[in-house]
Structures are given as C-alpha cells and as structure tokens.
C-alpha cells in the first residue's frame, strides 16, 4: 500500500495563469469595494450597492471580508505546500537502497568518532 503513489492533478500552464489572474482580479475588486465602502461610511455618502454594504455590515463581511480571508489562507497553504515539496525533493529522489546506504554511512562515521574519543580518553 505504501508503494502506491498519489496521483497529482497537473493543470496546464495556461490554465494556472488564468486561475492566478482571476484570483488577483477578485482580490483587487474586493479590496477596492472595501475602500470605497469605508470612505462612504466615513463621509455618510454612497449610492446603490455601496450604500447597502455600509448599512448591512454583516453582508459586507460575508461578501467582501470573508472571501479575502479565505483567499489569504488558501495562498498561505499553497506557499507552505510548495516549500515542503521543494525541501523533500532530494529525499524523494533517493530509492530505499540509497537511503539505507546513506544511513549506514552516517552510522559508520558516528562509530568512528566515538572510537576515536574512547582512544583519546584512554591515553
């Protein structure tokens, strides 16, 4: 069961660029709406959708703030995932035999150091 590798979904490059572009566009639009709403709330002006957002703060949070928080947390998750994958690439590239040989080599080095310490203490 451990030999079964997880299948990763690899999106085409153009689709990744489109999704990143849409994400940036959504974030910019939501931030602009938030700034306009804050300015309208401070001055007591605003019409249409902005006035409705100023008067209904719960819906402002649900429509503007919550999606921004979710996108922020999602981007942090992706960043951590990419960092972990790049850090573990060298270990994933090694086979079991190579890992065992590396462990043996490190154990031999440790034993040699210990033996030298013991010889120096006996002198």
State residue 44's pLDDT score: 82
pTM for this model (two decimals): 0.61
Q: Is residue 47 part of a domain?
A: yes
Q: pLDDT-derived band of residue 2, with 50, 70 and 90 as boundaries?
A: very low
Q: Which residues of 6-32 are buried (b: 16+ CB within 10 A; e: fewer)?
A: eeeeeeeeeeeeeeeeeeeeeeeebee
93 vs 102: CA distance, rounded Å = 13
State residue 46's pLDDT score: 80
State residue 25's pLDDT score: 96
Per-residue pLDDT tens over the stretch 67-102: 999 999 999 998 998 888 877 766 666 677 877 888
Handedness of CA 45, 50, 56, 58 (dihedral sign): negative
Per-residue pLDDT tens over the stretch 30-63: 999 999 999 998 888 888 999 999 989 999 999 9
Which residue segment(s) compose the domain that 44 sits in?
13-89
Q: Is residue 35 part of a domain?
A: yes
Q: How many domains does the chain have?
A: 1
Per-residue pLDDT tens over the stretch 100-120: 888 889 989 988 988 888 888
């Amino acid at each position: 069961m451990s030999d079964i590798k997880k299948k990763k979904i690899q999106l085409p490059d153009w689709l990744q660029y489109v999704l990143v572009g849409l994400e940036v566009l959504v974030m910019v639009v939501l931030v602009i709406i938030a700034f306009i709403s804050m300015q309208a709330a401070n001055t007591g002006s605003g019409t249409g959708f902005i006035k409705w957002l100023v008067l209904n703060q719960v819906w402002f949070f649900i429509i503007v703030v919550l999606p921004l928080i979710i996108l922020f947390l999602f981007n942090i998750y992706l960043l951590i995932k990419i960092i972990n994958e790049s850090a573990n690439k060298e270990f994933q590239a090694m086979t079991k035999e190579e890992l065992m040989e590396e462990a043996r080599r490190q154990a031999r080095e440790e034993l040699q150091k210990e033996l030298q310490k013991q010889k120096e203490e006996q002198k």
